[in-house]
Structure 1
Amino acid sequence: MTNALWFLLVGVLLLAMGLTSSVLKRLPITPAIIYLAVGILVGPTGLNVFHFNPLKDAALLEVLTEVVVLISLFSAGVKMPVPFNFTRWRAPIMLATVSMAISVGLVAAFAHYLLGLPLGAGVLLGAILAPTDPVLATDVQSRHPGDRDQLRFTLTSEAGMNDGSAFPFVMLGMGLLGLHELGDYGLHWVWMDVLWATAAAVAIGIVCGAGLAWLGCKLRSAPYRHELMDDFLGLGLIGVVYGLSVLVGAWGFLAVFFAAVALRQTELKLTGVTRDIHHTSASQQAGSTDSTAHPDIEPPPTVSEGSLVFKEHLERLSEVVLILLVGGTLFHNSWSWRVVGLALFLFVVVRPLSVLIGLLASRVKWRMRGMMSWFGVRGIGSLYYLMYAIQHGLPEPLALELIQFTLITVTLSIIVHGISVKPMMNRFQRRQKRAPEV
């Protein structure tokens, strides 16, 4: 497929999606299914006018998926509606740590004992498939910074954190395959890949995010009154945080998510006093005690909200391109009982069981746990971890096998979750309104 045809395909698809956006919102499926169907149609499974080789173009795909995940993590972070405290964040933290480890272990055992993969490859495959995706799961994640829905908040923050918490298991799998240093009794892995890389990522993210929030509010306030380019500031924060993290051996995905969270929460604290003063003054003048009775008073501008729309547009454009590529990698013989069986085991057994165990000590209602157990969407993050392993020396025969497992799992996730998300979420929200939970 020539560059001209590729531009034509993407352009026509974008025009069609843009012109029919109101119709697509009423469809019972997600747009990702449409992108996938087009990719399969023009790929080797269909017309065979386009074929993307993920092994040959692993370096390109690694960069593409890396950028997309970073943008998506930033968007997820700035949508967090509540300040960080362990009580409110307990459920997503447990999902991103305990449930993550259980998922990796179950997939590794299945791959090693039933599929005959080496133990290291099983652990690596578990780490690739365990994290939920912040890119393809937009229909079950927070829609805007003020979205306080508990289900959306939990799934969004879980996806934001587990893209970083999966990395230690990726390194463990590569270490068992002889591609990474684990140290005596795994001490190097525990100290550097688990403790240091995680703590440093969280620290870098919080410091940089809070620092940019303070600087932005300072420049916007008197006597400076500067106008800021929020889009550039958001992208710059992503680049600085991710670059610093990589330089010191920290997990950059985790750092970018916490930078976005710190940016948003710090801006809310810094502008909250000003907002309350304006609302109180206006309410007193109107003889009202309701501080929200004056929608004409605009809150102070913030970097987080100002850059969010641009990031979401980049995220959607990237989603189109990458899912087209996924569809263009599939052959008829890509499907087998081994790969389909692993995907079904992940959806039906691993995800529900890991969520059940991870949330044992939480106060999350059982109906909501059921929704969380099903909507563990796999997608672009899994592709990135796979390309990362390939670029760091994964043997070609093993790489081809893991490519097949990963692509089919992502494809099935797009299909089964894309078909079920809208009906299930609509039904869940109707039941929530009839029987609200405290």
Structure 2
Amino acid sequence: MTTTYWFLLIGLLMLARGLAATTIARLPITSSIAYLAVGVVLGPFALGIFHFDPVARSHILETATEIAVLISLFSAGVKMPVPITFKRWAPSIRLAWVSMSITVGLVAAFAYFVLGLPIGAGVLLGAILAPTDPVLATDVQVRHAGDYDTLRFTLTSEAGMNDGSAFPFVMLGLGLLGANELGQYAWRWALVDVVWATLGAVAIGMASGAALGRLGWALRNQEPKHEVLDDLVGLGLIGVVYGVSVLLHAWGFLAVFFAGLALRHTELVLAGAHKNRQGLLVPDDPKADPANDEVPDPETTPLTVSGESLIFKEHLERLSELTLVLLLGGMLTLQAWNWRTWGTALFLFLVARPVSVLLGLAGSGATMRVKLIVGWFGVRGIGSLYYLMFAINHGMPPGLARDVIDITAIVVALSIVVHGISVKPLMDRYWRKK
């Protein structure tokens, strides 16, 4: 397809999505399913009008998925209820680290014993498929700043953290394949890739978000007052935090998520927010929170970088979702639909994810209904595609690349369909019972 046809295709899809927003909201499908269907029909699986080769275009796809995940993680961090308390965040921390590790182990064992892949490739595949997605799972995640629902909070905060906690396993898998230095007895991996990269990322993100929150508040509310371009400032924070994290060998995804979280917390504290009965910070006037759905009063609303830039970030999320899911459809081939790819997807959805969630949340106090819903809605998406491209560009042996690409593409495609179809009826049923 020429550039002109790509403009036409993307433009038509954007028009259709924008004009049919109400219709799609009433249907038992998500917009991602529609984009995927268009990609499959136009791709090599059906008409063959275009074919996206992930190996030949791995650098472009890595950058595109990287940007999409970063924007989504920042938006998720901004919408998180604050302040952070161990009691509220403990289930999410368990999911992001304990359940993540169990999922990687189970998928690695399946890949080694059933698929016949080397153990390094199995660990790498587990790391690619284990993290839940912050981009495509918007229907089950926190909808706006001030959304205090426990289920949506758990799913969102898990997705925000496990995109960083998966990175050590990606590096471990590459190390076992000879593409990354692990050190004797894996000491370098444990100290640098696990301990420092994780703690350093949290520290960089929290410090940067808090500093920007105070600077923005001072510019707006102290004499002489200054205008602040919130969209640019929000994007700038993402770029700076991610760049500093990468330079210091910390996990940038984790840092950006906590930067958004710290930014909102700092701005709420400076605005004089009070704690509600749940112990969460809320604006004194809920209508005066610009990140909420209600129209703020321009005379009383304290402008914040987190609130004013959120809508723009969500528009970028929708554009990246459209483009990347369409390209995913163009990656799928008839040969990729085999027992290995289907089997991996079924094992992940029906065994690895539910088992890891039940074990990770054991003794947490979460009800069985919440555990089962969280265990089902482990949506895979753009994050998995990013890790796949990262592995290809950082030394994954070419002989293994095609197997891992086919498995990942089919798992993500099936996740978009099965989770997308089930999200609305299951969430409606959950809310009715609640």
Q: Assess same fold via TM > 0.5.
A: yes
Counterpart of 2:322 in structure 1 is 320
Counterpart of 1:289 in structure 2 is none
Q: How does 1:395-406 map to 2 (within 5 A)?
A: 395-406=397-408
Counterpart of 1:173 in structure 2 is 173
Give the superposition deviation at 1:361: 2.5
Counterpart of 1:189 in structure 2 is 189
Contact kept in structure 1, 2:28 and 2:424, CA below 8 Å: yes
Give me the whole-angstrom Cα distance separating, in 2, the residues matched to 1:355 and 1:274.
Answer: 34
Letter in 2 for 1:387: M
* 1:397-420 Cα distance to aligned partner (Å, 9 max, x none): 201110001000000000000000
Give the superposition deviation at 1:16: 1.0
Q: Aligned with 1:272: secondary structure?
A: coil
Letter in 2 for 1:85: T
Counterpart of 2:431 in structure 1 is 429
Give the superposition deviation at 1:430: 0.9
Counterpart of 2:229 in structure 1 is 229
Q: How does 1:121-200 map to 2 (within 5 A)?
A: 121-200=121-200
Give me the whole-angstrom Cα distance separating, in 1, the residues matched to 2:257 and 2:330.
Answer: 30
Give me the whole-angstrom Cα distance separating, in 2, the residues matched to 1:421 and 1:251.
Answer: 30
Q: Which moved more, 1:80-89 or 1:158-167?
A: 80-89
Give the superposition deviation at 1:227: 1.5
> For this pair of structures, how many residues does the alignment match?
417
Counterpart of 2:290 in structure 1 is none
* 1:330-384 Cα distance to aligned partner (Å, 9 max, x none): 1111100111001110000011100001001212121111110100000000000
Give me the whole-angstrom Cα distance separating, in 2, the residues matched to 1:31 and 1:315.
Answer: 12
Letter in 2 for 1:24: I
Counterpart of 1:288 in structure 2 is none
Letter in 1 for 2:427: M
Q: Aligned with 1:301: secondary structure?
A: coil
Give me the whole-angstrom Cα distance separating, in 1, the residues matched to 2:270 and 2:27.
Answer: 41
Counterpart of 1:247 in structure 2 is 247
Q: How does 1:260-275 map to 2 (within 5 A)?
A: 260-272=260-272
Give me the whole-angstrom Cα distance separating, in 2, the residues matched to 1:357 and 1:224.
Answer: 55
Q: RMSD across aligned C-alpha pairs, in angstroms? A: 1.5
Identity across matched positions, percent? 63
* 1:117-155 Cα distance to aligned partner (Å, 9 max, x none): 000000000000000000000000000001000000000
Give me the whole-angstrom Cα distance separating, in 2, the residues matched to 1:379 and 1:87.
Answer: 29
Counterpart of 2:81 in structure 1 is 81
Structure 1 segments (4+ residues) deviating >6 Å: none
Give me the whole-angstrom Cα distance separating, in 1, the residues matched to 2:310 and 2:386.
Answer: 23
Say yes or no: does 1:9 pair with 2:9: yes
Q: How does 1:236-385 map to 2 (within 5 A)?
A: 236-272=236-272, 298-385=300-387
Give me the whole-angstrom Cα distance separating, in 2, the residues matched to 1:179 and 1:25.
Answer: 45
Say yes or no: does 1:104 pair with 2:96: no
Give the superposition deviation at 1:160: 0.3
Give the superposition deviation at 1:82: 2.7
Contact kept in structure 1, 2:273 and 2:284, CA below 8 Å: no
Give me the whole-angstrom Cα distance separating, in 2, the residues matched to 1:132 and 1:224.
Answer: 45
Give me the whole-angstrom Cα distance separating, in 1, the residues matched to 2:19 and 2:343.
Answer: 38
Give the superposition deviation at 1:273: 5.4
- Decide whether aligned partners of structure 1 residues 273 and 65 sit closer, same or farther in structure 2, where only a CA change above 3 A counts: closer
Counterpart of 2:33 in structure 1 is 33
Task: Structure 2 unaligned segments of length 5 or more: list them.
Answer: 276-280, 286-295
Task: Structure 1 unaligned segments of length 5 or more: list them.
Answer: 281-294, 433-438
Letter in 1 for 2:85: N
Contact kept in structure 1, 2:74 and 2:256, CA below 8 Å: yes
Give the superposition deviation at 1:274: 10
Contact kept in structure 1, 2:245 and 2:252, CA below 8 Å: yes
